Amino acid sequence: MSLPRHIAIIMDGNGRWARSRGEPRSAGHKAGMAPVRTCIEECARRRIEALTLFAFSSENWKRPPAEVSALMTLFMDAIDAEVRALHDNGVRIRFVGDRLALPVRLQSRMLQAEALTANNGGLKLQLAVAYGGRWDIVNASQLVARLCSEGALTVAAITEDVFAAGLQLAGIPEPDLFIRTGGEHRISNFLLWELAYTELYFSELLWPDFDVRELERALARFAARERRYGLTAEQLAARVSG
């Protein structure tokens, strides 16, 4: 079965999962840690190169302060609890997003986790925290503009590759498979540049219920698709036979 090099996931439905059980939203976020571990383990086992998880968007700051505070604490606790095991299993951790907007203690935990795992050669794990696709594109645009103003880059030299080098996922292959749980069919300002040719899979399961079987369904759906990148089926066949 053809496997993606890179899977990107919006982990949606924690709050609804908790509400359906009469529990606070924070309980859903805690329950959502189990499928995070499952996805990391399965991607590593299948030798998938990269996994990017959307943990907290730039729009999530609008949520109730108590929930945001609980999420920040959960992130710190999760890093403390999981980073050593991830490191021992060769996972390289990288955080993407506007980390300066985050609590200083969390920023410190992120830097420590990245430094510890920087030389690992296994699964490349990206955790998007305080991330927004539009923010990412604007940030890369500012970098390109600054290089031009300093004379290090000319306008004529700006290409897609040059621009992409300023994005948060620079150096990581673009996602082949995007998964969103929770029944919503949208990408919600996630990796707007990188998802241009990504295969999309929308699951009705709420994130805490996401399991190996549902991941396998997504992988099977991906393997059954013909990725043409704007070409015709005949052109693809000719390229393969050539």
Catalytic, 120? Answer no
- The residues facing 54 across adjacent strands are 10, 128
Among 171, 224, 200, 212, CA closest to 9: 200
Residue 136 appears among annotated catalytic residues: no
Exposed / middle / buried, residue 72 (Cβ in 10 Å: 0-12, 13-18, 19+): middle
Sheet with 199-202, edge to edge strand ranges: 92-96, 124-131, 50-57, 6-10, 177-180, 199-202
* Rounded-to-integer distance, Cα 5 and Cα 49, Å: 5
Catalytic residues, by residue number, are: 12, 60
